[in-house]
Amino acid sequence: MNAIISASELMQELAGANPPVLLDVRWQLSTAGAAGAPPFDGRAEYAAGHLPGAVYVDLDRELASAPGGRGRHPLPDVAGFGAAMRRAGVSSDRPVVAYDGGQGWAAARAWWLLRWTGHPNVRVLDGGLPAWEAPLSTDVPAPEEGDFAPSPGASGLLDADGAAALARSGVLFDARAGERYRGEVEPIDPVGGHIPGAVSAPTTDNVTADGRFLPAGELRARFKTLGATEGDDVGVYCGSGVSGAHEVLALAVAGIPAALYVGSWSEWSSDPSRPVAVGPDPQ
């Protein structure tokens, strides 16, 4: 099953016999607070207009636990995540489509968590809200409680040690911007650089200018050029497991299974005992 869905396909499914549950996961990584500007408010954006029937999901509160030593967006409590999904109407026998403001990162985080915890049918709206050409709604739905019971998978998740090992034995992609990978700039975390052995693969290169994913064949060619060949174990990390989820989604579109290091650079760089590589070379 495809991991993404176009706006036209979504419109058709919403008119069908088993329409998908819609999750609005608008979120942005923002450093505006440091300059005195108000942070991005996804709930306010949702209130101003959303896909009809969509339920707002708060990434920071429902798709992650409190920031700390495990990173800025650690895994959420599984029971709490399941309760949040059921409140949104998520059931195991009904498809789910997540979308955000167009960047795709936050929607991919919801997609990855639902897939990792066992939901069989979840996709991301390709291009996000900007791709939707039909009218929006300001009505806040009250969905019937879902029955989704999360059951975390035995694979698909990396910790710091697993990421370090995969960088040596397989392929570990760093989904952040190239300048952060190289250690030339680090606006958020304690130090710049990358996990030794990781390959720079900015997630922004997986999409077109309008935020839609490149065709599957082009994505496969890109990842093959970066070193992911058939049969390789592949993992991804980013700053805090959000844009990395988007790269895992891009790999899924390309037909390449990949694991996510959720703690990512925000966890790795907070431990001074862990090695840091800088420059364009993986090592």
Q: What is the DSSP string of 219-244?
A: HHHHHHHTT--TT--EEEE-SSSSHH
Active site residues: 238
* Residue 75 in tokens: 């895994």
- The one-letter code for the residue type at 212 is R
Going residue by residue through the chain, which has 283 residues, state the pLDDT in tens, using 9 for 90 and above: 699 999 999 999 999 999 999 999 999 876 544 456 678 899 999 999 999 999 999 999 999 999 999 999 999 999 999 999 999 999 999 999 999 999 999 999 999 999 999 999 999 999 999 999 999 999 999 999 999 999 999 889 999 999 999 999 999 999 999 999 999 999 889 999 999 999 999 999 999 999 999 999 999 999 999 999 878 999 999 999 999 999 999 999 999 999 999 999 999 999 999 999 999 999 8
Largest CA distance in the chain: 55
